Amino acid sequence: MLLELQIRDFAIIDRLHLRLGEGFTVLTGETGAGKSIIIDALGMLRGEKVDVTFVRAGCTRARIEGVFSLDDCPQVAPLLREHDLLDDDDGQVIVVREISAESGRSVARINGRAVNTAVLRELGGRLIDIHGQHEGLSLFNPRTHLEMLDRFGELLSLREQVASQVQILRGLRNELADLRRNEAQRQARIEELRFLIEDVTAARVRPGEEEDLVRERQVVQNMARVTGLATEAYADLYAGREGGRTPGRPIIELIATVAGNLAELARLDPSVESMATTASELHYQLEDLAAALRTYRLGLDADPGRLDALEDRLTVLRDLQRKYGGDLASLVERAANAETEIERLQNSAVHIVELERQEAATLAELGSLASRLSQRRREVGDELAQRIEGAMGDLAMPQVRFFVSIKQTPDQQGIPLAGRKVAVDRTGIDQVEFQIAPNPGEPLKPLAKIASGGESARLLLALKSILSRVDEVATLIFDEIDVGVGGRAGQVVGQKLWTITENHQVICISHLPQVAAFADTHYHIRKEFEPGRTRTQVQRLDEHQRIDELAAMLDGSPSEHSRANAREIIERAIAWKVKRQVSTP
């Protein structure tokens, strides 16, 4: 609900501050006084296009600020939270728009944070709906008709069941499409896995084998040098060297002598016990080293054909890696897991059959739900049409025919309906559009294409009065919707506008005293002239001032006779409102 509206330097308004409450607020005044300028300012808060001419002459910028309560707008809080604009501890949302006179550009802020025009439009459209004799916005947009019909008929729960089944069906069909589309790839994958198993099995690959072969190849390629080094090392340790002026003694023999001398010395001087121990340990370690060297030397294979065998084996392993990619360890692991994957792939045909069974069952369930929803929409559509035609009769248009068109689109991938297949989505199988024939003998036409003027204004009012309980926008603004309406029908217009306040805040610009008489709050708008300037002033009227204003609307200027008529009109409106409140739970 709109709590406050502040306008500064906008058109001929220099400063304006309105405090608004629940119920029915009426703005009246002479033509050109600035009533529609206030509606234009509210349009700016909805995100409508700006114009530099909106900035008051001689000012640098225009500013419009609206303070809205969130208590009656549950659909707004999630949007604010989505864009990180919600102040959880406030319960209000403040929308500001400024227009620069220099650049003509505007800046929008929601709760103090700058937002782009798209976000402003999305939020503004959920806070305010503006209706005039030339526009109906949401009601004249065919995309909203299905939503309104479902809300009017309380069909949202059934529609959610349809949406749930549609989601399940889409999931099944996507999975089936993937399986069918990949059938050729599936067969190729099975063959690839079988070849992998056969090749790895035939090659008898073991992890780490390639590294072992590379090391052995290096030894075989340098066999002479390896043998010589091993022989010399063993000789130095155990056999000693031949030649020279004095024969070389083996290292083991020398260390044995050193260990014996140190052992003898330790008996004489215990302080060298650790050195004797070290020498003894070195003796034993060198004996172990000599034995290992002897074993290594004896194990060297001098077969000239060994190098060829190693190269052949390495070629087999590397060809396998090039063919399948990855190292030998991963090939062995992939081959070990290949049988499991082959089994899964071979079972996909069985999986397809199961998915097709689930698809058929889901289609049957969805067909039943969607058909039931479509039938309920037709019943609710007939009820809505009857009520709107009745409301149009109250508004002096008894010949109007209203119709809720419900159609389906053929689709071979859709659900069966009466021997054919029709498209389905999360809302069901129906395309809904409101149609009207304003005059006898005329064909039904889409609501969006009817003539503008008082005719469309009254239709809009009839629709709003009936659909108001399912309209989520809290604040509805009607700009001269009573144009072309006479006094007798004006009484009904006032009644219907006031009735809408049972579910909404209603703000209306009116020229009819019969409408203004139903106001819970009445503002008078007038122009004031100063040297070189014109400004708009707004005054909230008390009971006596209201009588004078309605009298002026009736007769041009208040007189005793016109005041008496005004009192009668107001009393009649009050009596109707009291009766309505008593009869409505």
pLDDT at residue 159, as a whole number: 94
* SS3 call for 305: coil
Q: Which helix (H) or strand (E) holds 374?
A: helix 348-394
CA-CA distance, 521 to 546, in Å (whole number)? 10
- Residue 343 structure tokens: 């089994």
Taking the alpha carbons of 163, 165, 167, 173 in that order, is the dihedral positive or negative? negative
CA-CA distance, 24 to 500, in Å (whole number)? 9
The residue written with tokens 């929308």 in the block is 95
CA-CA distance, 197 to 546, in Å (whole number)? 96
pLDDT at residue 151, as a whole number: 87
> Which residues pair with residue 437 across a beta bridge?
401
Q: Which helix (H) or strand (E) holds 537?
A: strand 533-540
Measured at the alpha carbon of residue 530, what is the angle toward residues 524 and 532, in degrees to the nearest 5? 130
68 neighbors 43 (Cβ within 8 angstroms): no
Print pLDDT tens along the chain (585 aa). 899 999 999 988 888 888 998 899 999 988 766 778 888 899 899 888 888 888 988 899 999 999 998 887 777 888 888 888 887 667 889 999 999 998 888 999 999 899 999 999 888 888 888 876 544 456 677 878 898 899 889 999 999 999 999 999 999 999 888 877 776 677 788 888 888 888 777 778 777 777 777 776 776 666 667 777 777 777 777 765 544 444 567 888 888 888 888 888 888 888 888 988 998 899 899 888 888 888 877 777 666 677 667 777 777 777 787 887 777 777 777 888 888 878 777 777 778 888 899 999 999 999 999 999 999 999 999 999 999 888 888 877 788 889 999 999 999 988 888 888 999 999 999 999 999 887 888 889 887 776 555 566 677 778 778 877 777 788 888 887 766 666 667 888 898 889 888 888 999 988 889 999 999 999 998 888 777 677 788 889 999 999 999 999 988 888 899 999 999 999 999 999 999 888 765
The residue written with tokens 């989520």 in the block is 472
pLDDT at residue 91, as a whole number: 82
pLDDT at residue 383, as a whole number: 94
pLDDT at residue 137, as a whole number: 55
CA-CA distance, 448 to 113, in Å (whole number)? 36
pLDDT at residue 132, as a whole number: 64
pLDDT at residue 476, as a whole number: 87
Terminus-to-terminus CA distance in the chain, angstroms? 22
- Residue 19 structure tokens: 């405090």
DSSP state of 378: H
What does the DSSP assignment read for 318-347?
HHHHHHH-S-HHHHHHHHHHHHHHHHHHHT
In sequence order, which residues have a C-beta less than 8 Å from that of residue 493 and are 6 or more positions away? 395, 458, 461, 481, 482, 485, 512, 514, 515
